Amino acid sequence: MAFHQSLPDLWLLSDERNAAVLEARLRSFAAPVGFVYRHYHLPDTERYAEFRRLRRIAMAEGHLVVLA
């Protein structure tokens, strides 16, 4: 039986330091990656709104998305 890896080899972890480049990075990967949205510094409402926006982009690119 062939082995099939279900998790991406590469993961992008978000936080306050890379917030400005996340959208561009999510669009730039040639193969699907894992994207972990963290952004604990934001108020809950703003954090979830930004997560939903980036999730749409990530999923359109075929990436796996995790809300931490």
The larger pLDDT score, comparing residue 1 to residue 25, is at 25
5 in any annotated domain: no
37 in any annotated domain: yes
User: What are 1's two structure tokens?
Assistant: 């039986």
d(CA 27, CA 60): 9
User: Residue 5: what pLDDT?
Assistant: 72
Whole-structure pTM value: 0.89
Count of structural domains, the chain: 1
Residue ranges making up the domain that contains 31: 11-67
